Amino acid sequence: MGKPLELTEEEWRRRLTPEEYDIARRKGTEPAFTGQHWDRHEAGAYRCAGCGTPLFSSETKFDSGTGWPSFWAPAAPENVRTEADLSLARKRTEVLCSNCGAHLGHLFEDGPQPTGQRYCINSAVLKFEKM
């Protein structure tokens, strides 16, 4: 990956839809079972809506029953990063795009093997590319 993408907030607003902006830049979330990818079963890659970085693969997607796309691993570990999130008065792990810093969702330790992890990601910040 090259130099991280850095844009002004006005440039982000022009680049993203209002829903994408709210989630990616303001750390919002979409309601469960409403996003376009939570029930997608096609083979393909999920890229960051903000910068196009490959984030997840359909090969690691699973049905978590939560209403958000869930993955047990990123496409490449270096393409996502995590940070502590204390915003709801409890400790969670936030998932971000390493290239543009977009908020993607949260990471939980209740996923399937082989990792035991569940990357719970908002559909609105993902662009799907069929394989």
Mean pLDDT value of segment 25-53: 96
Per-residue pLDDT reduced to its tens digit, 3-17: 678 899 999 999 999
Categorise residue 52: left if φ over 0, alpha if ψ from -120 to 50, beta otherwise: left
Catalytic residues, by residue number, are 120
Which residues on adjacent β-strands are paired with residue 82? 95
| Whole-structure pTM value | 0.94
> Domain coordinates of the chain in residue numbers?
9-130
Helix runs in the chain, H state only? 9-15, 18-26
Mean pLDDT value of segment 56-85: 97
* 9-130 carries CATH number 3.30.70.2740: no
Per-residue pLDDT reduced to its tens digit, 55-66: 999 999 999 999
